[in-house]
């Protein structure tokens, strides 16, 4: 019987994608809008893909209407290019991740899912390359809302559709590498676990008061026990 819903962020938490990922977004922006805006310097960490696209184009002076008109095209172009050009060697699985997912997926009391700023198509591709996509039967993605803070409730609803189990806020654990992951957990009073394997240092994450904080997921038993008892 499930009693914990554990939602993982992707980039910086499960894996690191090479700079090819940024270049692919730049190529997609150029192809669809004819400008890359400030996509070369924009900080992607913890941001929704949809918000990144919007922000970098606004920076180039494009109007909301113009951005929205082609939004489906840019989204599909980006996902297609990720599937075509992002390769196995562009993805680095973070320390302890396969072991942790292996252990968690064996447990009958834990349901795994994703809560990520990636679009589903490109996010799933990033997970498929290092063969960890199968651990996640469902998720909440950038396709689902414009703000990350809306994603926890969507994930809980999807978990209910999938399992018939309605998880209470304290049974939900959101795991990520940025302040945005911690903040979005707080919106539904879920538990948050931060990991400093992305661009945020342990000190930076600590100042946002996650319920638990790890340097990495190298110690599988320690992390599993933290998740089970948080
Ligand atoms: Mg992240």
Q: Which CATH number covers residue 47?
A: 1.10.150.240
pLDDT of residue 192: 98
| Helices marked H in the chain | 20-33, 49-59, 64-69, 71-85, 97-106, 120-128, 151-163, 179-187, 202-206, 220-229
What tens digit of pLDDT does each residue of 9-47 get? 999 999 999 999 999 999 999 999 999 999 999 998 889
Question: Which pLDDT belongs to residue 39?
Answer: 95
| 76 and 124, same domain (yes or no) | no
213 vs 203: CA distance, rounded Å? 10
Tokens coding 221: 């038993």
Residue 52 pLDDT > 90: yes
Shared domain for 65 and 148, answered yes or no, is no
Among 88, 109, 139, give the residue marking a domain's end: 88
pTM of the model: 0.96
Residue 17, classed as helix, strand or coil, is strand
Structural domains of the chain, count: 2
**What token pair was written down for 131?**
């063969």
Give the phi and the psi of residue 66 in degrees, each rounded to 5: -60, -40
Q: Say whether both 113 and 77 belong to one domain.
A: no
Distance from the CA of 144 to the center of ligand 1, in angstroms? 17
Q: How far apart are CA 145 and CA 20, in angstroms?
A: 25
Tell whether 152 and 209 lie within a shared domain: yes
Q: Is 141 in the same domain as 199?
A: yes
pLDDT band at 127 (very low <50, low <70, confident <90, very high): very high
Q: What residues make up the domain containing 30?
A: 20-88
- Does residue 225 sit in the same domain as residue 125? yes
Report CA(209)–ligand 1 centroid distance (Å): 17
pLDDT for the residue 46: 86
- Using DSSP, state whether 93 is helix, strand or coil: strand
Identify the domain boundary among 72, 88, 104.
Answer: 88
Q: What residues pack around ion ligand 1 (CB closer than 5 A)?
A: 9, 11-12, 177
pLDDT at 183 over 90: yes
The answer to whether residue 202 scores a pLDDT higher than 90 is yes
């Amino acid at each position: 019987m499930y009693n914990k819903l554990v939602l993982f962020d992707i980039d910086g938490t499960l894996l690191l994608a090479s700079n090819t990922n940024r270049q692919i977004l730049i190529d997609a922006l150029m192809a669809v809008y004819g400008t890359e805006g400030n996509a070369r310097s924009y900080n992607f960490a913890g941001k929704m893909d949809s918000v990144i696209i919007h922000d970098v184009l606004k920076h180039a002076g494009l109007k909301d209407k113009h951005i929205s008109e082609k939004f489906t095209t840019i989204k599909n172009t980006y996902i297609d290019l990720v599937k075509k050009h992002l390769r196995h060697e562009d993805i680095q699985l973070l320390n302890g991740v396969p072991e942790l997912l292996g252990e968690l997926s064996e447990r009958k009391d834990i349901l795994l899912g994703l809560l990520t700023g990636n679009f589903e198509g490109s996010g799933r591709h990033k997970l498929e390359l290092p063969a960890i996509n199968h651990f996640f039967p469902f998720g909440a993605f950038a396709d689902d809302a414009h703000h990350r803070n809306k994603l926890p409730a969507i994930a809980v609803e999807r978990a209910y559709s999938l399992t018939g189990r309605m998880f209470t806020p304290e049974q939900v654990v959101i795991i990520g590498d940025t302040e945005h992951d911690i903040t979005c957990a707080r919106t539904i009073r879920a538990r948050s676990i931060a990991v400093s394997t992305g661009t945020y240092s342990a000190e930076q994450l600590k100042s946002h008061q996650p319920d638990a904080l790890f340097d990495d997921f190298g110690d599988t038993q320690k992390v599993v026990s933290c998740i089970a008892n948080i």
